[in-house]
Amino acid sequence: MTNRRLPLLLSLPALLTVAGVLLPLSYLVLRAFGAEWTELREIVFRVRNLELLGNTLGLTVSVLLTTTLVALPLAFLAARSDFRPRRALMLLGVLPLAIPGYVGAYALIAASGAGGTIEALTGVRWPGPSGYWGALGVLTLFTFPYLFLNLHAALRSLDPALEDAARLLGRTPMQTFRAVTLPHLRPAWLSGALLIALHVLGDFAVVSLMRYPTFSAAIYQQYTAAYDRVYSAWLALGLLLITGAVLWLESRLMRGVFLARVSPATARQLPTLRVGAWAPLAWAFVAVLAGAALVVPLGTILYWLRLEQSPFAWAALLAALKSALGAAALAAVTTTALAFPLAYIGNRFASRAARLTERAAFLGYATPPLAFALSLVFFSLRVTPSLYQTFTLLIIAYTLHFVAEAIGPIRTGLSLATPRLEEAARVLGQTPWQALTRVTLPLIRPGLLVSAAFVFLSVLKELPLTLLLSPIGFETLARNVWTYTEEAQYASAAPYALALALSGAVLTLLILRREGRGQRAEGRRPRAQGRARAPTPAAVRKEPT
């Protein structure tokens, strides 16, 4: 890193990102305080606000607990045990991430109750999910991969010398697990837990389908049904305060965390633990999880797809698919283009301004989508009314919200592309721009592709921003799934749900394959003996990506 001043060409995208995030949020505050004092007092001190606060916090904490109970055993089986097949465990831990939560909720609702898939196929009427337990179950099934990926990486990176030292001091295997392994998993758990908490706080589709009131569900209802924009603005501010508290808590818990290897050279291979007598329980756990997270949702979608008889269904699906893919592709390009200078600043410059500009990008990601969409609505209506409900505003929203997802893979690529290569190009007579385009960009091309794929997948599944900001008549896969599911037209929603699930699965597998190649290539590079090994991704603080 260098302490030299930021070039204007790199500072401009950072300033645009800060302005694009902070200006709409400022108009959200203005809208919230735009009523009379008596009305504001009645809004702020409503008893319902306390109920929404309790429901939101309770659901978030519960989802963190249940996802840990699912992800930790699965990650341990995949990383440290002789349970086979391991590749199937990895797929089980990752593929549910390709299914949006609202698609999972639709599938579970359509599978249960009177006339559901389970009753039609087995004759048994399975009770339908609803309320707190329904929201908890759906959010757990389709967010636990965030934790699984982090915990699996941390378990694979643990130095066996740490556990050996504990055993030599007389610790039992369980004591060693509590005293050595769990502290090593703390950064990985906090990174995954932060993503899950942000997801639960910003989700409104699952809780709305399950009829469980939270801040996000109330914001959507007040804005679209009650047309109370002042109250919806206050609810959005309350949700922002909760999100800020979660980010502050995660930062405090990560303070002072530093994990390093005991041995200076390359670590020995991790020992494989035998499942032994626990094998039946492990198989039962894997079977139940696979059935609930993959078999039942996909089977339900296929069952209702068979019942769709409309002659216009496939034509409408093709039109929605084109719209969704076009918006996702354009947003992936704009977001990756904006993320590159931000990642470059964070990797190549050590000044305070560099750190602040990179942090500003994460503000848009940390802001719940409904609150961010609402702020853009107020901003566009107040400043540029012609921009309201246009495709341009929708792409801007996608770009500002998901730019943080694109920064991580690019920063990883930049960390491998040493600045000395650019310096060598400069010595050979290249301009700074030529050195950047001819040397650095080709080296980080895999990171750019992974960033674009991340954003493409996120935009394809995104619902709140699409519902509030898309132009009239703009149909996407996510929007149609939500519309038909709300009206209990499960057969009509099935084609869009299947297209979303398949698209997400293909992109997820491509991303995993690309990252797996990168990790194998990095593992084949020779290491100098006697040097400390670079910290693994799970051993350092990770930003939301």
Domain presence at residue 173:
yes
Domain presence at residue 267:
no
The values of phi and psi at residue 525, to 5°, are -75, 135
Number of DSSP helices (H) and strands (E) in the chain, helices first: 26, 0
Domain presence at residue 499:
yes
The CA distances from residue 347 to 65, 255, 292, in Å, are 34, 21, 41
Residue 82: which residues within 8 A CB-CB, separation 6 or more?
272, 273, 274, 275
Contact 158, 255 (CB under 8 A): no
The CA distances from residue 28 to 32, 231, 235, 279, 400, in Å, are 6, 11, 11, 54, 16
Domain presence at residue 193:
yes
Task: Tell me how crowded residue 506 is: count the other CB atoms within 10 A of its CB.
Answer: 12
Which among 364, 323, 325 has a CA at the least distance from the CA of 473? 323
Domain presence at residue 120:
yes
Whole-angstrom Cα distance, residue 364 to residue 398? 10
C-alpha Rg value of the chain to the nearest Å = 24
Dump strand ranges (E) for 59-196: none
Which structural domain, as residue segments, surrounds residue 133? 8-262+277-539
Whose tokens are 């405090």? That residue is 252
Contact 2, 348 (CB under 8 A): yes
Domain presence at residue 268:
no
Up-side HSE of residue 406: CA atoms within 13 Å toward CB? 32
Q: Tell me whether residue 388 is exposed, middle or buried, using C-beta atoms within 10 angstroms of its C-beta: 0 to 12, 13 to 18, 19 or more.
A: middle
Sign, CA torsion 414/420/425/426: positive
CATH of residue 118's domain is 1.10.3720.10
Whole-angstrom Cα distance, residue 90 to residue 507? 15
pLDDT tens for each residue of the chain, 545 residues long: 555 566 667 778 778 887 888 888 888 888 788 777 777 777 878 888 889 999 999 999 999 999 999 999 999 898 888 888 888 888 899 889 888 999 999 999 998 888 888 888 888 888 888 899 999 999 999 999 989 988 888 887 776 766 667 667 767 667 777 777 777 788 888 888 888 998 899 888 899 999 999 988 888 888 877 677 788 888 888 888 888 888 888 777 776 555 555 444 445 566 677 888 888 999 999 999 999 999 989 999 998 888 876 777 778 888 899 999 999 999 999 999 888 888 887 777 766 666 676 677 777 887 888 888 888 888 888 888 888 889 999 999 999 999 888 887 887 777 766 677 777 777 777 776 777 777 777 877 878 888 888 899 889 989 989 988 989 888 899 999 998 888 888 888 899 999 988 888 888 887 777 655 555 554 554 444 433 333 333 333 344 43
Whole-angstrom Cα distance, residue 114 to residue 124? 9
Return the pLDDT at 268.
56
Whole-angstrom Cα distance, residue 112 to residue 129? 8
The CA distances from residue 497 to 61, 95, 100, 508, in Å, are 28, 15, 9, 16
| Structural domain count of the chain | 1
Contact 400, 434 (CB under 8 A): no
Return the pLDDT at 544.
41
Whole-angstrom Cα distance, residue 99 to residue 101? 6
Which among 498, 369, 511, 515 has a CA at the least distance from the CA of 100? 498
DSSP state of 257: -
* Cα-Cα end-to-end distance for the chain: 22
Name the amino acid, one letter, at 399.
T
Whole-angstrom Cα distance, residue 356 to residue 363? 11
Whose tokens are 């290249």? That residue is 430
Task: Tell me how crowded residue 19 is: count the other CB atoms within 10 A of its CB.
Answer: 12
Which among 243, 252, 163, 133 has a CA at the least distance from the CA of 199? 243
Contact 60, 201 (CB under 8 A): yes
Return the pLDDT at 529.
40
Q: Which 3 state secondary structure label does DSSP give 273?
A: strand
Domain presence at residue 430:
yes
Contact 146, 97 (CB under 8 A): yes
**How large is the angle between the packed helices 477-486 and 101-111, nearest 10 degrees?**
30
Which among 303, 281, 297, 300 has a CA at the least distance from the CA of 141? 297
Which among 88, 196, 186, 102 has a CA at the least distance from the CA of 147? 196
Return the pLDDT at 358.
67
Q: Which 3 state secondary structure label does DSSP give 237?
A: helix
Whole-angstrom Cα distance, residue 457 to residue 138? 20
Can you list the alpha helix ranges (DSSP code H) found in 85-224? 86-94, 101-111, 117-122, 131-157, 160-168, 173-176, 182-202, 205-209, 215-224
Return the pLDDT at 536.
39
Domain presence at residue 247:
yes
